[in-house]
Amino acid sequence: MADKVIALACAAGMSTSLLVTKMQQAAQEAGKNYEIYAKSVAEIDNMLSGSEKPDVLLLGPQVAYMKNEVIKKAAAVGVPCDVIKMQDYGMMNGKNVVAAADALMNG
């Protein structure tokens, strides 16, 4: 079982799935036992209301316009949330995105 769960939400989940793979590699190399997955923004309510809520929710840059609404929903259930930096997303920099998730989870 994973120590922490990182969820990514994007428009459809396609390009983000590659970033998930890069993040999993970066977490593994850093000795972290994280479950990392991506879903479409249409599933955010289900992700946040389920019994297996993520420890952090990251939004893809393409859905950054939803940030304020999603942050409110996530905060209501104690899940930190932010938008992935465009540069890290574009470069598929899994290490930086895992570091950003760590920073959010650790307050």
Greater confidence (107 vs 32) lies with 32
Helices marked H in the chain: 14-29, 44-49, 67-76, 86-90, 94-105
**Of 5, 10, 36, 47, which residue is the catalytic one?**
10
Q: How many domains does the chain have?
A: 1
pTM value?
0.94
**For residue 41, what are the domain limits?**
4-105
**Catalytic-residue membership of 10:** yes
Which pLDDT tens digit goes with each residue over 32-87?
A: 999 999 999 999 999 999 878 999 999 999 999 999 999 999 999 999 999 999 99
**Which CATH number belongs to the domain containing residue 12 in this structure?**
3.40.50.2300
pLDDT value at residue 52: 80
Token digits for 84? 């992935």
